[in-house]
Chains A and B, each alone.
Chain A
Amino acid sequence: MAFFSSTATVPQNLTFVSSNKLSFSPSSTTSFNFVSFPSFQSKFCKTITSSPQITRAHAPPTPSTETTTASSFHGLCYVVGDNIDTDQIIPAEHLTLVPSKPDEYQKLGSFALIGLPDSYTVRFVESGETKTKYSIIIGGANFGCGSSREHAPVALGASGAAAVVAESYARIFFRNSVATGEVYPLESETRLCEECRTGDVVTVELAENRLINHTTGKEYQLKPIGDAGPVIEAGGIFAYARKTGMIPTR
């Protein structure tokens, strides 16, 4: 697992919409070496442990649970099909949990993808666990369709997933993923949900728009992030708005 040393620099105007995940403050002395996309990287980087309070606690001591270098995600993948709607990602009965409250945020993570039908014999989060061992979710078409509930990308992120690679997304889910920084929403060129299987070890190379399945030895092209790029690069909608002068800096 790769960890960031506490010597790189955090841009001053960086803000995080879900700071439960990464508790940086501008005055902190923590810093990183970023290879590319410095701002969003802090948002999406899952193994930043320079701040002692943050522990990327993956309870099961499986090998290579998850690593993040400056521009990639690595770990086990979990494969789902088409039209995975928000009720399957986080059933409505759990929506009383408020994502902006840290303890309820963690609880949401434990319920991630619990709504999947029983045909999914391998659960995303094992019963009794609060975190997942899968860093990357591979989906089919129209991932995240249904409700606008931001609890959906939040639950995935809180569970420990780093990225979703889907054939296509429903718009509100995509938007919420970008806004929260909870999971990085990537699009594949082909139907990876038919090429990969749950448990395969994969790496996503962001700069090269590429997914490597180490278990099968195959590589796949991903689509560039598109219009959401500047917002992700800035660090989310708030950071982007401050950067472009739309709202005052703090």
Chain B
Amino acid sequence: MASSLVPSPSTSFFHTTKKDLNLSSFSSSSQRCHKHASRKIYCSVAAPQQTQRTPSTTGSVKTAMTMTEKIMARASEKQQVRPGDNIWTNVDILMTHDVCGPGSIGIFKKEFGEDAKVWDREKVVIIPDHYIFTSDERANRNVDILRDFCNEQDIKYFYDIKDLSNFKANPDYKGVCHIALAQEGHCRPGEVLLGTDSHTCTAGAFGQFATGIGNTDAGFVLGAGKLLLKVPPTLRFVMDGEMPDYLLAKDLILQIIGEITVAGATYKSMEFVGSTVESLNMEERMTLCNMVVEAGGKNGVIPPDSVTYKYLEGKTSVPYESVYSDQQARFLSGYRFDVTKLEPLVAKPHSPDNRALARECKDVKINRVYIGSCTGGKTEDFMAAAKVFLASGGKKVKVPTFLVPATQKVWMDVYSLPVPGSGGKTCSQIFEEAGCDTPASPSCGACLGGPKDTYARMNEPQVCVSTTNRNFPGRMGHREGEIYLASPYTAAASALTGYVTDPREFLQ
């Protein structure tokens, strides 16, 4: 059944172009989709002509809502919200880090007063992660600013670091904020999580509304515990089929971004459903939601299920309540992918939507490989890279290969968890045998360049295959650097050949 979207009085979100209607919206890279009888949800621009009935004439008819709409309705204590509504939304968790925290704190104090207290000392999570292992004085000062604030406010969750020469000497330090939030149990279904970082959308993997905001908005939330947010319409992405063993969630999201472009989801929510999504573990789901912002998306959501609940076991004692899109919920448009037809992808310089097949880039010589960040530096990402090195039968990397675990926990996993099929070797052993650089101190690292002495920063114009999230000019440091975004499989394969390489060269 194809639900139709009744044109609302302000049709400002009715701006999907005509081309969304044709089958290219529903195709994977190499096949045309046929309209299936049981196709559920799709509607695009051409809603059938029907007599307009304004809401007031229909009485209090409750309209079905999408997951994002439901979360926002509950958070704003409303029965019902519609895309386009601007609502005061209660915030369950506010996260900030060393780059935007000081500015947010400055605004909070200026607006609410030097002696003001945050709205809830247990709902503010402060995670230094961006510019940590550097001699840059201002960067280090910024962590001090966070510490002073946390002491003054008695903030419950502050993952501090003082000894920069040895990250392990800091028991509270975690690393990359989005991964720390998940690992420490701050992500819960049905909640609203805001963070002063664009990749806050990662937490949508837990079935919550999570999005990035700036310092001023964060300063406001620190004092008020709520924020004025506009309800986004939802784009639905259905992914079905058994995930081929050479594909990872990174390939799926690169496929999607390549399909809809870097502005295809602007002001919209992206909902990921389907049997493939259900088969992904939590870290893979996080990768999927992580790059929602690269399509311009406001937030991403994945319906919680047993995989979610299993991950959450023992991590949080705060009760939560999952919500799901109604059967009759209206989506702005829908896309369907048969993942068995997809191939490993890259995003070529200089845009995340500059999609290409990895195998078609096999003549691109590279200078380095970077495996890290909230997008591609989690335990599962390193396991995947190790799998390729293992499958190569002992080959060594041909280019410097930088490994930056996202958090302390990931670092420990890399050094302790056995890699399946390796006879008990850990990722770190496999990486060492392959000639990779030693896994570095956990942080955001060179994903965004940073201070000049950041480990693995690109200070020369080089070509890099990276498991990170953006490849705009200068992203990893040098303005003329060329970054190919890829999955950990593709990154590892490329390291082994010195060229952009489809991982099937080793995995099949």
Contacts and interface: CB of A to CB of B under 8 A. Distances in A.
B260 interface: no
Contacts of A227: 86, 230
Nearest to B12: A226
Contact of A88 (B105, B266, B298, B473): B473
Interface in B454-493: 470, 472-475, 477, 479-480
Residue of A146, A226, A240 with most chain B CB atoms under a 10 A cut-off: A146
B217 A237 contact: yes
Interface residues of A, number: 50
Contact of A83 (B111, B228, B351, B448): B351
A147 B198 contact: yes
Nearest to B196: A148
B375 to A, nearest CB: 14
B262 interface: yes
A151 B66 CA distance: 33
Interface of B: 12, 86, 88, 99-100, 102-103, 105-107, 110-111, 113, 130-131, 136, 138-139, 142, 145, 196-198, 200, 212-217, 219-220, 223-224, 226, 228, 230, 262-263, 266-267, 293, 296, 298, 351, 448-452, 470, 472-475, 477, 479-480
B214 A87 contact: no
B470 A100 contact: no
Contact of B111 (A85, A99, A118, A238): A238
Given A100-B103, A171-B296, A179 B473 contact: no
Contacts, number: 153
Contact of B449 (A91, A172, A237): A91
Interface in A67-109: 83, 85, 87-88, 91-93, 95-101
Nearest to B113: A250
B262 A145 contact: yes
A212 interface: no
29 contacts: A17-B111, A17-B219, A85-B470, A85-B472, A92-B450, A96-B131, A98-B103, A101-B106, A115-B473, A115-B479, A117-B474, A117-B479, A142-B262, A146-B198, A148-B198, A148-B212, A148-B213, A148-B214, A149-B214, A150-B196, A150-B215, A151-B103, A170-B263, A170-B296, A179-B220, A236-B216, A238-B220, A241-B224, A250-B113
Contacts of B224: 241, 246-247
A15 interface: yes
Contact of B267 (A99, A118, A151, A171): A171
A141 interface: yes
Contacts of B99: 95-96, 149
B138 A96 contact: yes
Interface of A: 15, 17, 19, 83, 85, 87-88, 91-93, 95-101, 115-118, 141-142, 145-151, 168-172, 175-176, 179-180, 226-227, 231, 236-238, 240-241, 246-247, 250
Contacts of B267: 171
B214 A83 contact: no
Given A17-B111, A87-B470, A176-B214, A142 B102 contact: no
Contact of B298 (A93, A96, A171): A171
Contact of B212 (A145, A172, A238): A172
A167 B196 CA distance: 26
Given A92-B449, A250-B113, 18 more contacts: A17-B110, A83-B262, A87-B473, A91-B474, A93-B452, A100-B103, A100-B107, A117-B473, A117-B480, A118-B480, A142-B266, A145-B262, A146-B472, A147-B448, A150-B196, A179-B216, A180-B214, A241-B224
B296 A17 contact: no
B472 A83 contact: yes
A156 to B, nearest CB: 13
Residue of A92, A171, A237, A250 with most chain B CB atoms under a 10 A cut-off: A92
B15 to A, nearest CB: 10
Nearest to B15: A168
Contact of A146 (B214, B220, B470): B470
A150 B111 contact: no
B213 A172 contact: yes
A100 to B, nearest CB: 3
Contacts of B266: 142, 168-171
Contacts of A170: 263, 266, 296
A176 B86 CA distance: 16
B109 to A, nearest CB: 8
A19 B109 CA distance: 13
Contacts of B196: 148, 150
A95 B473 CA distance: 17
A87 B475 contact: yes
B230 to A, nearest CB: 6
Contact of B198 (A141, A172, A236): A172
Nearest to B472: A85
Contact of A87 (B110, B293, B451, B474): B474
A136 B309 CA distance: 51
A176 B212 CA distance: 11
Contacts of A246: 88, 224, 226
A96 B88 contact: no
Nearest to A168: B263
Residue of A17, A83, A147, A238 with most chain B CB atoms under a 10 A cut-off: A147
Contacts of A99: 103, 106, 215
A164 B213 CA distance: 20
Nearest to A118: B479
A184 to B, nearest CB: 15
A19 B219 CA distance: 14
Contact of B213 (A19, A83, A100, A175): A175
Contacts of A151: 103
A93 B226 CA distance: 31
Residue of A142, A149, A171 with most chain B CB atoms under a 10 A cut-off: A171
Contact of B451 (A88, A93, A172): A93
A147 B449 CA distance: 13
Given A17-B111, A247-B224, A98 B102 contact: yes
Contact of A175 (B12, B214, B451): B214
A87 to B, nearest CB: 5
Q: Please give me the 9 A-B residue pairs with the lowest Cβ-Cβ distance, nearest first.
A: A100-B106, A150-B214, A176-B214, A96-B138, A148-B212, A179-B216, A150-B215, A85-B472, A148-B198
A42 to B, nearest CB: 16
A98 B142 contact: yes
